[in-house]
Structure 1
Amino acid sequence: MSDIDYLYSQGDRLEERNTYFYSQYHGAAFFPAWRASRQTALAQLPPAQPVPLAVAAERDEHPADTAALLANLLHTTPEAPERRLAKRLLQRFEVSKRLHRRYDMNFKAVADSGYDDLDLYLQFAALCLHQAEQPGALPFLNGLLKVVDSLISIHPRLSPPQGAQLAWLITAEQDWVARVAAQANVELAP
Structure 2
Amino acid sequence: MSDIDYPYSQGDRLEERNTYFYSQYHGMAFFPAWRASRQAALAQLPAAQAVQLPPAVESSDDDTLDTVELLTGLLHTDAAAPGKRRLVERLLQRFEVSKRLHRRYDSAFKAMADSGYDNLDLYLQFAALCLHQAEQPGALPFLNGLLKVIDSLISIHSRLTPAQGAQLAWLIAAEQDWVSRIATQADVEIAP
User: Normalising TM by the smaller chain, what interval?
Assistant: over 0.9
Shift of 1:60: 4.4
Secondary structure in 2 matching 1:44: coil
Aligned pairs, how many? 190
Shift in alpha-carbon separation, 1:16–1:76, aligned structure 2, 3 A: same
The alignment status of 1:22 with 2:22, answered yes or no, reads yes
1:63-94 Cα distance to aligned partner (Å, 9 max, x none):
61001100000000001121210110000000
Higher mean displacement: 98-107 or 50-59: 50-59
TM-score when scaled to structure 1? 0.98
The match for 1:109 among 90, 111, 117 is 111
Q: Which amino acid aligns with 1:99?
A: L
1:93-123 Cα distance to aligned partner (Å, 9 max, x none):
0000000000000000000000000000000
Task: Please list, as runs of the form range in 1=range in 2, the aligned pairs for 1:142-161 lying within 5 A after superposition.
Answer: 142-161=144-163
Identity %: 79
Find the aligned partners of 1:77 and 1:125 in 2 and give their Cα distance. Answer: 16
Find the aligned partners of 1:63 and 1:188 in 2 and give their Cα distance. Answer: 43
Report the equivalent of 1:68: 69
Q: Which amino acid aligns with 1:135?
A: P
Structure 1 segments unaligned to the other structure (5+ residues): none
Report the equivalent of 1:130: 132
Report the equivalent of 2:54: 54
Shift of 1:28: 0.2
Shift in alpha-carbon separation, 1:111–1:23, aligned structure 2, 3 A: same
Contact 1:51 1:122 in 2 (8 A): yes
Report the equivalent of 1:42: 42
Report the equivalent of 1:82: 84
Q: Which amino acid aligns with 2:34?
A: W
Secondary structure in 2 matching 1:22: coil
Find the aligned partners of 1:169 and 1:63 in 2 and give their Cα distance. Answer: 29
The match for 2:168 among 166, 169, 176 is 166
Report the equivalent of 1:177: 179
Q: CA RMSD in A?
A: 1.0
Find the aligned partners of 2:156 and 2:78 in 1 and give their Cα distance. Answer: 31
Q: Which amino acid aligns with 1:64?
A: L
Shift of 1:58: 1.3
Q: Which amino acid aligns with 2:137?
A: P
Contact 1:28 1:189 in 2 (8 A): no
- The runs of 4+ residues in structure 1 deviating greater than 6 Å are none
